[in-house]
Structures are given as C-alpha cells and as structure tokens.
Amino acid sequence: MTAQRTTAILLTAHKAGEKQGLLQILSVDKSSRPPVYEKAAIDSRSVVGHFGRLPDPLIKALAAFSESNLSKTIAAIKQYFEVQNSPLAYRDFQEKEVVKHHYELFRQVKPWFEKIKWYHSYKGTGDRWITGPCRISAQRPYLKFEVAESASGYQLQAIAEIAGTDHLLSNLERHHFFLRKDEEYFLMPLADQQTLDGLEKEAAFRSATADVLRPVLSRLEERYPVKPHALQDSQTVETPPVPGVLLSELSDTFLMLTPQWTYDGYTVENPWEAATEIRQNGERVVIHRNREQEQELKTLLESLHPRFPDQHKGYYYLPFAEAQKRQWFPKVYHQLLLSGVDLKGMDMLRHFRYSSHLPETDIEWLQEKDNQLTCRFAVRFGKENVPLQELQKILWAGQSTVLLKGGTLGLLNDAWMKQYATLVKHAKIHKQELTIARWLSFSLQEPGNENAVFANKSAGNWWQQWQQWQSDAEVYPLPSTLQATLRPYQQKGYEWMCLMADAGAGGCLADDMGLGKTLQAISFLARAIENRPGMQSLVVCPASLIYNWEQELKKFAPGLTVTVFHGPQRDASVIGNPAQQVLITSYGTFRTEAAQLCDQSYLSVFIDESQNIKNPFAKITRAVGELRSVYCFTLSGTPVVNNTFDLYAQLHTALPGLLGSREFFKREYADPIDRNGDDVKKQLLQKLIAPFVLRRTKEQVAPDLPEKTEITLWCDMDDKQRALYDEVKEQIRSSLFLDIEKKGMAKAKLDVLQGILKLRQVCNAPQLLPEAGEQGNASVKMERLFEELELVLPRHKVLVFSQFTGVLNLIAGICREKQINYFHFDGQTPAAQRMEMVRAFQETDNTTGLFLISLKAGNAGITLTAADYVFLFDPWWNEAVQQQAIDRTHRIGQTKNVFAYKLICKDTIEEKILQLQQRKKQLSADLISTDEGFIKNLAQEDVEWLFG
C-alpha cells in the first residue's frame, strides 16, 4: 500500500439486516483525479490479502460478514422461525434476527475500531451517493427522551447523549443500531434500537395529546431518563373564566368592589394581559386570559352605578351612605349572584350589621329515583326566605353570610354549616327543590339523631347491619362455592362490599399491599353470582395481573367459569356470554375494545389497580366510566398517588355523582387541599368518602404476619469509586447551578434529575457511565450484594430490586460467571412470561432461589411469598414504591420472617435521599395517599443540599 493507494473497510450502514453489502473491502487510488474506488467482497482470504496479518479474532469477526457466512446464518434463522410462534412475517423476522447478528459481530470488532481505516457510503443531498473516510467510535450513546410542545399538542423527542453532549436523534442519521453524526458512527445498544423501532411503529414521535403521551412516558421511565417538562414543569390554563367580585372596605369609608376572574382555580385581577404567569408550589402556571369574557364583567359592574364608568383603578367604590341609599347594595348583591358572579369577602365587612335572626331550615324528602334523592328545602332568617340558587353560590364561594333585603347580614352559623352546607353544595337545584346523589346520604346520615338530615326509617334494617358490621359480629356468611378460609379482616372486607351492594352502592377497597384484596373481591363475586346467576361479571386490571386473577379465581372459586379476554387471539364472542361468568381483561385491551365491552350490562365490575384511571380526562378513564353494572368496586393499595384529584375518577366510576362534577370537586376539595393545605376541606372530604373507602394497614389487621425487619447496609466506596463520584459531582455542580440561575428552578428540573441519576449510577456501578474509564470496574455495592447472597443462597429465596435495568443486567452477568441460577424480568418482559416465572419461583421444589426485578415492573400485584430476603439495590425517592416492592413477599401467605435490605453508599446523594424522604412527608397520607412528587417538590435549597 503506497501513499497514493489506501485500503479500508467500507461501511454501508443502511444495509444492516441485509444478506450482503454491510461491510466490503475498499481500495482507493488517489493518484487519479477523481480518485478511483474499487470494492471487493469481504472474507477471510481477502481480509488477509488486503490488510496483511491481523489478530485472528479480528479476521474471524470480519470474515463473518461474508455472504457465505451470512447465508448459513439465514438458513439457521429460517429453521428457528419455523419452530417459533412469531407474530412477524418471515421477511420481518429475518431482518430482525440478521440485525441482531450484525450487532453482535460489530461488538466483536469493537476492540479494533481504532486500528482499522474506515470509509463509508451514504446518500447525500440530491440522492447522490458519497464515499469518504469515517470513524467508528467505541463510545456508547445514551438514550433519553423529552417532551416538547408543538403547534398541535405535544411531541416526544429522542435524544442521544454522546460524550456528555445531547443531540436530538432527529438531527442524526440512524440505521437500526448505527447512529451517524457527521463522519462518525456510534453503536447504540440493541435494546435502545428496539425501543426506537417500537416507538416509530407506534407513531409515538408525532404530535399527540398529553393523554396519549403519558402512558408512553410511563413505560419509558422504567429504563431511560425522561424529561416531560412540557407536561409537568409548566401548566397551561385555557378554561373560560368564572367571574367574581371581592367585596371589601376602603379606609372605613368606602365599599369597594374588585372584579376578579377565576381560571381553573387560579384567580387573576386587572390589569388585563393576554397571559398571566404565576408560580404554584414551584410550578409555572400560564393562564391564557379571555378579554371578551373579562370585559363582560366590567361592563356589568359599570352598569350598576353612574359613578363606576369613570373609575379606572381596577376596582369600583362608593361611600357607605351611597351604597345603602335606596337599598342599592342589597339589590346589586342579588343581581350579581343571579348573574352567576361569585361574591367574596362578605364575612370581612364590618360596616354592615348582622341580622338578629338565626337561620331556620325546613326539609322534606320527596322521592328516590335512579340513585337520586329529591327534597323540598327552605332556609329563612325571620320571615325572609333565602333563594336556594343564591344560597348555593354563597356556599361555593366559601362564604357564611347572606345579604338580606334590609341590608343586614344573615349569619349561617357553625351548627347550620355542619348540618346542611355539604348537602346544598352538592345538590342540583330546581326552584325550591334539591336533588343529590343517593350515596351522599351515607356520608351525612347520623343514625339515632332525630335532627339528622337523613332520617330514613325504611333503611333501618340496613343501618342495624351497618352498626353490627362495625362490631365483631358476622353479618354475611361466605358463599358455598368459595373454597377459602378468610382472615377476620378479610371477612370484614367481604362483608363491607356486601353491605355496599345491598345499599345499591359501590366503593374502593384500598387495603395495604399484600392483605388479599383479590381474595376479598373473589368472595364477593362468588356471592353475587350465587344470588343472581345469569349475568356476566367483569374484571379490568393491568396486563401483568391477568393471569394472577385467573389463577386465584380457579383456586378459590373453582365452580365459576372464567375467561381471559386479552391478546391477539382473543374471541369477542365471550363478551356478555352468561356462560362465561367472569371475564378478565387488561386496561389496554379494554381501551381497544371499549365499544363492545361497554355495550353489555354486567353483574359486578372490579377495576383492579384503579390508580390507572386516576386521570378523568384519559381515554381509558372515560371508557371505564361508560360501563354499566349492578355492582362496581375499585381496588387499589395506592388510590392517591400524586394529589387529591386522583380520587375523583376512581370513586366517580364506582359511585357516579357522589363527588359532583370534575370542576366542582376540583374547586371545592382538590385545589384547597393540594394547593393550600386546607385542613377543614380535608376533614369534610374524609367524612364524605369514609363509608365508601375501606382502608386497612398491615399493622392494623395482620399482627400475626411474620415480622418484617428493614436494615440499611452501608457501603463505603473504595478510593477509585470515591474519586469518580467526587469528579462527577463537581462536573454536575459546576453546570447545574448556572442552569438554575439562567432558566429558573422549574425549567432546570430535568438537569437536577439527570444529575441525581448520574450520581446514583456511580453509587450502583460506575460501569453504567461511559466516562468511568479505568475507575469503572469498582462497585462496592456489587461486592456487598454478592457477599450477602453467598450467606443466604441456596437456603433462602431472594428478591433483588433495582430501578436500573442496566444494574440488573450487570448482576445477571455476574450470576452467570458464578453459576448462580436466577429469574429476571423488567418492563420489556411479556405479562404471561412474568407470571410463569413467578409461578415457578413459588414452587416449593424450585431450586432457582434468586429473582432480579425492575422496581417499577414488579411493584404491584405479584405474590412472591417464597422469598424471605429482599435487597433494594438503589433507593427510590418515593418510600411507598420501595414498600410495595418489599410487600411482594411480606404479604398474606408469608410464614417466615422477612428481611429487607437497602444498599446505601455512605456520604453520597443516596444517604441524602433517605434524609429528604423524612423531610418531605406529604399531608396527602391523611387521604390514603402516597407521594410520588419528590423531584417536582424540590426547592432550590434542597438541590443545593443534595449536591453539597
């Protein structure tokens, strides 16, 4: 080879997955103008002939790209296809398998990337093919995602992090696992390539609504950093405004009327601007204001008094004497209320005197129809009746005073508010009649109180049973078809569902993880079918729990006919067929088949893991809400995940109308509790939902459950790992706080998340970071984990959880080296395969004692009581998620003491996360909740402390 002639390997990346042409030998004669390119097929003889003596493994790897070797591989692939039950056509199956083969070959060539001269052939502008030098980098690109706002909604964007710099994937050229940036190629991990291929097939990178993107993000978050800032870091409000007027007194001389507009719970005043930006709990909220509708209120106010049109200070004012002349204020007050204007501040006025009369109330229940109760309702102060619509608007505005015709204020005292306010606020009003959801009577009923709002004598027998249920007496026997012995609290849960059903109501069984919600539900199903045969019942659950439900039903109620409606071979003829007494389907299948499934009436409907329908705007929630059934119950160990509003859709599905409209519930309960920490509203909501939500913790009802011991295993990094940790932390600190200063805390949340992620990766296994270099082999956690495993295997069975699939893959690799048998699943493992592994692990004669599970994929629904040791390899900021993982084994059926270990690197961000978990406890626990908003709720001082 002379200076005028170059020999190289020619890469044609778009031919990955094809039989020939991916790699060729290229000779370039540079003495000609233009240079002359000669191509030759690649095989072992031509490699040696053109390049001379190369390492034998490299010659073998390059020769494997030859057409003859690929033909043998394709023949084997064809045989493999014939014994597989693949949903793919053979052509697609072959391409997929050849791509995997090419990827493995390139991994074998990887150690010599820098030793070989590379050229590439690619299509340039104008479809002109270009051949020139290139480089193949051994540096791994890291895949992550973000959501950007587009003109027609939101758009998922893929990002490749290369050498610490982010590149939009749309700006790079990709062919299967090849990424090209300018003249340099990078090899993506095969799993990342498959993720992108799947997203492209789903059209996930097109503009979509938030509801469409959220489940995609949820799936991706199991494996990749995801920045959903367009959905989370800022909120856009575009609802029509609710007009309001704040009444106040100016200088003890003037009555002042300040116009206000409330957009989705956020109140704004003058001056007008197209968009008003506010901060709420660190979140940026942009309110798009409606000038025309705001002007309508100002026009109305200026029509009320001749002085108002000339007042331009953003409020209107009158001397007290002028406001009282000819009863101007009482007349205007009633006019504004009837115009739909919220009046605020009445309780703060001091110039207007209070009426000497207390409120008197008359109530007469008229009828019960279609799960609604109607009554005639009247409130008066002395001889003056208060119009019901005005009364309701006053209560909605949070006021407790009524302006009477004489200019005095009627006070709705505490006793009246306690007895009647909830009833009036939740009612639909027609003249002097109130109509409410019948379920409300359960919340407001006070048995034995003759002055109670509801004195339903005809329901006396039911109330006796309700009181009996609250004692230790048995109220309902178990159905004869049930083959199970229930624990006392499970009997109570079953009876609670029976009581709700006998009253024509539904509810939410919200027992702790592991207390047997499924068994209680099956007990009720068996009784309902025994009492009312001839109708089908339906179970809707996550795909991962379908086979768990099927197995439990066959075990505990073998007399029932059970059918799974799921998967590509599903048969729609089973829908509504009474011969199939229980139909089980997944949320995904339900979303696809909603029209057919909702076209039937069911005896009982159970919505399992009902936090999946917490978003009332989601397609699946709306579809589930269309179901018609005699009885409906939701099941969830965590019905409130993020905020109080999570409760709405779940209870509205089981008890339509109980919580009012979405807008009413948000305004009346969710916003005051979540935004303002309103304890009074929280107590009112607790009282409202108390009969319909049954929540028991392990500590309350299962004291006989074997002891659970939680232990922190502190791990001290060696010098190499500590040096890498300190180096990465300093790199993050140097850029992170500049980003916070430039963009603000809300926009820098992804940078914070990525910084935490990197430091946690160093703590777990430095090999996860490309920049680790020689320091990348030291992992104190890996050493400590396998020291512990050697002590407990094979005498005990063990679960190992990690948030990072890369960590689980590393652990799996070490297990193979040490010849330790294991099961392993993550978010990519099909549901049926997961359940088969769970079943095998639970078998007493099973000798595979180790189960590696990704934290999110395995923290709900599955039972792994064969294990008595749990290792949490990395801490998660939501303590409840960790507890759910531990509860896979610490649940009913466990007979051994459970030991749960958290592996924590000392003096690192992991230790600080544990401390922050204690500092960031949320009040939502009072409403049966867990908090998954750790990152969202971090203040800047928290970030400074975390990275300090």
Q: Are 740 and 748 in contact (CB under 8 A)?
A: yes
User: Is pLDDT at 1 greater than 50 in this prediction?
Assistant: no
* Segment holding 427, helix H or strand E: none
* 474-701, CATH topology level: Rossmann fold (3.40.50)
Average pLDDT over residues 580-600: 92
Instruction: Output the pLDDT for position 539.
Output: 96
- Better pLDDT: 877 or 853: 853
Instruction: Output the pLDDT for position 540.
Output: 94
How far apart, in whole angstroms, are the C-alpha atoms of residue 522 and residue 38? Answer: 73
The structure tokens listed for 707 are 């002891």
How far apart, in whole angstroms, are the C-alpha atoms of residue 550 and residue 900? Answer: 30
pTM: 0.56
Residue 427 phi/psi, 5° resolution?
A: -90, 155
The structure tokens listed for 43 are 């095989």
Q: How far, rounded to the nearest angstrom, does the alpha carbon of residue 733 sit from its chain's CA centroid?
A: 30
Which amino acid is it at 808? L
- Better pLDDT: 879 or 393: 393
**Domains in the chain: boundaries:** 1-136, 237-348, 359-444, 474-701, 708-946
Sequence-ordered strand ranges (E) for 163-289:
165-168, 173-175, 178-181, 184-187, 226-227, 234-237, 242-250, 254-263, 266-269, 275-280, 283-288
Instruction: Output the pLDDT for position 704.
Output: 64
Q: How confident is the model at residue 924 (pLDDT cuts 50, 70, 90)?
A: very low
Percentage of the chain with pLDDT > 70?
Answer: 87
Instruction: Output the pLDDT for position 921.
Output: 46
* Segment holding 488, helix H or strand E: helix 488-502
The structure tokens listed for 825 are 């699943």
DSSP 47-93: HHHHH-S--HHHHHHHHTTSHHHHHHHHHHHHHHHHHS--SS-HHHH
Instruction: Output the pLDDT for position 450.
Output: 43
User: Is pLDDT at 937 greater than 80 in this prediction?
Assistant: no
The structure tokens listed for 578 are 């009474």
How far apart, in whole angstroms, are the C-alpha atoms of residue 396 and residue 389? Answer: 11
Report which DSSP code applies to 417. Answer: I
Q: Do domains 474-701 and 708-946 have the same CATH topology?
A: yes
Q: How confident is the model at residue 547 (pLDDT cuts 50, 70, 90)?
A: confident
Residue 243 phi/psi, 5° resolution?
A: -70, 145
Beta bridge partners of 278: 285
- What would the pLDDT profile of 63-86 be if each residue is shown by its tens digit? 999 988 999 989 888 888 887 777
Report which DSSP code applies to 463. Answer: H
Q: How confident is the model at residue 944 (pLDDT cuts 50, 70, 90)?
A: low
How far apart, in whole angstroms, are the C-alpha atoms of residue 561 and residue 582? Answer: 6
Instruction: Output the pLDDT for position 926.
Output: 46
Q: Place domain 708-946 in its CATH homologous superfamily.
A: P-loop containing nucleotide triphosphate hydrolases (3.40.50.300)
How far apart, in whole angstroms, are the C-alpha atoms of residue 709 and residue 170? Answer: 49
Torsion of CA 89, 92, 95, 97, to 10 degrees: -60
Handedness of CA 787, 793, 795, 798 (dihedral sign): positive
Torsion of CA 909, 915, 916, 920, to 10 degrees: 170
Instruction: Output the pLDDT for position 881.
Output: 66
Percentage of the chain with pLDDT > 90?
Answer: 29
Instruction: Output the pLDDT for position 178.
Output: 95
Q: Is 17 helix (H, G, I), strand (E, B) or coil?
A: coil
Average pLDDT over residues 362-381: 88
Q: How confident is the model at residue 34 (pLDDT cuts 50, 70, 90)?
A: confident
How far apart, in whole angstroms, are the C-alpha atoms of residue 293 and residue 241? Answer: 7
The structure tokens listed for 400 are 């407790």
The structure tokens listed for 655 are 């008890």
Q: How confident is the model at residue 929 (pLDDT cuts 50, 70, 90)?
A: very low
Which amino acid is it at 172? L
Q: What's the chain's length in residues?
A: 948
How far apart, in whole angstroms, are the C-alpha atoms of residue 54 and residue 52? Answer: 6
Q: Are 394 and 424 in contact (CB under 8 A)?
A: no
- What would the pLDDT profile of 758-782 be if each residue is shown by its tens digit? 888 889 998 888 665 555 567 888 9
Handedness of CA 126, 129, 132, 136 (dihedral sign): positive
Q: Is 726 helix (H, G, I), strand (E, B) or coil?
A: helix
- What would the pLDDT profile of 860-919 be if each residue is shown by its tens digit? 667 788 888 889 898 776 666 667 777 777 676 677 777 888 888 888 888 888 776 665
Q: Are 842 and 863 in contact (CB under 8 A)?
A: yes
Among 847, 727, 720, 867, CA closest to 783: 720
Average pLDDT over residues 472-490: 88
When the pLDDT of each residue in the chain is averaged and rounded to a whole number, the result is 83
Among 289, 653, 652, 654, CA closest to 669: 652
Q: CB within 8 A of 56, min separation 6: which ones?
A: none
Q: Is 8 helix (H, G, I), strand (E, B) or coil?
A: strand
How far apart, in whole angstroms, are the C-alpha atoms of residue 825 and residue 215? Answer: 20
The structure tokens listed for 232 are 């989370």
Beta bridge partners of 37: 28
Q: Is 613 helix (H, G, I), strand (E, B) or coil?
A: helix
Instruction: Output the pLDDT for position 479.
Output: 93
Cα of first residue to Cα of last residue in the chain, in angstroms, is 57
370: left (phi over 0), alpha (psi -120 to 50) or beta: left
How far apart, in whole angstroms, are the C-alpha atoms of residue 425 and residue 633? Answer: 26
User: Is pLDDT at 207 greater than 50 in this prediction?
Assistant: yes
DSSP 516-557: -HHHHHHHHHHHHHHHSTTS-EEEEE-GGGHHHHHHHHHHH-
Q: CB within 8 A of 300, min separation 6: which ones?
A: 243, 336, 339, 341
Residue 62 phi/psi, 5° resolution?
A: -70, -40
Which amino acid is it at 209? T
How far apart, in whole angstroms, are the C-alpha atoms of residue 41 and residue 70? Answer: 13
Sequence-ordered strand ranges (E) for 137-253:
142-150, 153-162, 165-168, 173-175, 178-181, 184-187, 226-227, 234-237, 242-250
Instruction: Output the pLDDT for position 928.
Output: 44
Average pLDDT over residues 216-242: 74
Instruction: Output the pLDDT for position 126.
Output: 78
Q: Label the pairing between strands 36-40 and 23-29.
A: antiparallel
DSSP 762-829: HHH-GGGSGGGGGGGG--HHHHHHHHHHHHHTTTS-EEEEES-HHHHHHHHHHHHHHT---EEE-TTS
